[in-house]
Structure 1
């Protein structure tokens, strides 16, 4: 770890190009991508990295799109991550396991639809790379207690008294970003009144690299393929959406009762099941910052936009933010501009605004469309799904969206 706790006396100032608040998946990816472009950063995180990567601390998994995988490879993480991810070879989408499903499967020469990674494995790879990177000063178990932005730069005071300076402040603190809120960003937001139940499953049948998205009126039920464990047991990640009014009851269930409910919704597609990870839950809400920049400030990842996990695009949208921001900053710095230049931030905002709105609107529409109960809506949905199944051009569009290969891609996300 490039731990500046031991290098910078209290009250001293060290200037770097960026101060990144939040060293999670998106924040640390930004630091590494920026470092590869010769851009230095302070990364500040209140957590202890050892706690974040402890065995059993986080049972969540993330879908990494083809574009996001390109980003990880382009910043030197490909070899570390290659053996840890499970390829998503196909996606099966169904309305309650009734007839009329869609099967998304790319051609053999097109690669996968993405890869599934345990969040813990992603964190370990990012943290190991960061500790050896001289362009990253990593400040852990501390937080910003003062953030000052002005015409001449940024100054941040940490809870331990140290003072850091930079040209640009980047908020990557997640959904509850205090920096975003302190800056007074306007937000579009609403509550879905649903909760995601997240865990991992062992199952007797192999998943064959297939991700299942099963839609029920109460919410989607996703089974996402993971690599077999060291004992050869088949594994998948589960994201089960339940109505908030039912969530307390589901959380209170014993593991045996929980598994019975899950098995009923799976219709035996993966055989017998048992838990492979801790059960977690979190409320599902939509939020989108109307603007993502201010004076010497850029907001990225979940701090800028949070959506329903229905399409697994949350992390990928944040990584597109990373690619675009690094490209804009590095091009500007080559022209002699500093990272906090208002022209560069305006270009970043313009680039990301349309893409993020389109992805979030599509996700929200899908959530509402499949949440309409009743036989007639179900029949209409299955009719539409059948049409998509029969139209190669339409299937190609949806697959490109899932792989993150549509629209104007930052260079780091290209193959």
Structure 2
């Protein structure tokens, strides 16, 4: 479309030429938006970059073509010009693909904000205007009076623009990575703080449980039926909280599961678990609480959106197989789940500042040389965490381990 557009309009005045160049950018924008799975801001960001790189490639190609024309004797064959174009564009685009590859976001979306897009568009516009001003307004002192000087100035301006845009992109990606790491670290610390609070709460539950024997003495002595029923209801509530406790063989997992189970009981969510907590001895408390806290928070958030309480189901399993620790979180879901690069895409409006819960799970798994895989089928979401167990001599296949703890509420 671009080639046809400019081949059919070889001679344009300045105003029409600017309009046609604007149309070329819009065509690139629409092409990227329609062919790639990105939002309109990301497509515009890539289109601006592509346009300036194309301008620079065209400037360099024309410089080499001038060398052929000025050669003695002049080389003006169509084949030589095509060969120069293919080699020049091929080399430059390969170089740009290589340098941008290392700073491309791992996620599908670059998550460009409106402010970032405006800044980037301003840089692109300034580069385009300065590189072509010598053609639009001939005779400017900064460009000289000769066409060669104008071409040289254009090439240098385009090169500077490409360097500025690359620097801007690298700085943006570095800031994003630092922000994500800070966010993950904050989540890790928050989960561990919640674990310590939950541990204190469970101690209070244990105290209440031991106090029940005193309540029974009072209950036997109470002759008022209404008060006796009130005591019985209170005892039922205390016993329910105590029954919510899990005994997996790992105190951190016990605390996190217990608090999440109590929350699930209050919100009509059924959670079952089969966990061998002894397999987590090589992991520190903060990492364990982060994995179970964030994964269960993600599952619970999904279940609370389901209207029918009978369908609010969560399963947790942790066992070892061939010296690997396998942790599986499964929960029922309704609607659709959009999976990005291994993890589900957040459905919250401000996607740039959400979705770090499961990223922190991935961060912990990678810390121990493991990996995280997310999948969805038949309305069940599966989050699988695979972590190698360091000391293989102490690892046993826990598929048939009698120490596994199972609870259902």
Q: If the TM-score is normalised by the length of the shorter chain, which range does it land in?
A: under 0.3
Q: Write 1 or 2 for the structure with the bigger share of strand.
A: 1
Give TM-score, length-normalised by structure 2. 0.24
Q: Write 1 or 2 for the structure with the bigger share of helix.
A: 2
Q: Which has the larger radius of gyration?
A: 2
Give TM-score, length-normalised by structure 1. 0.24
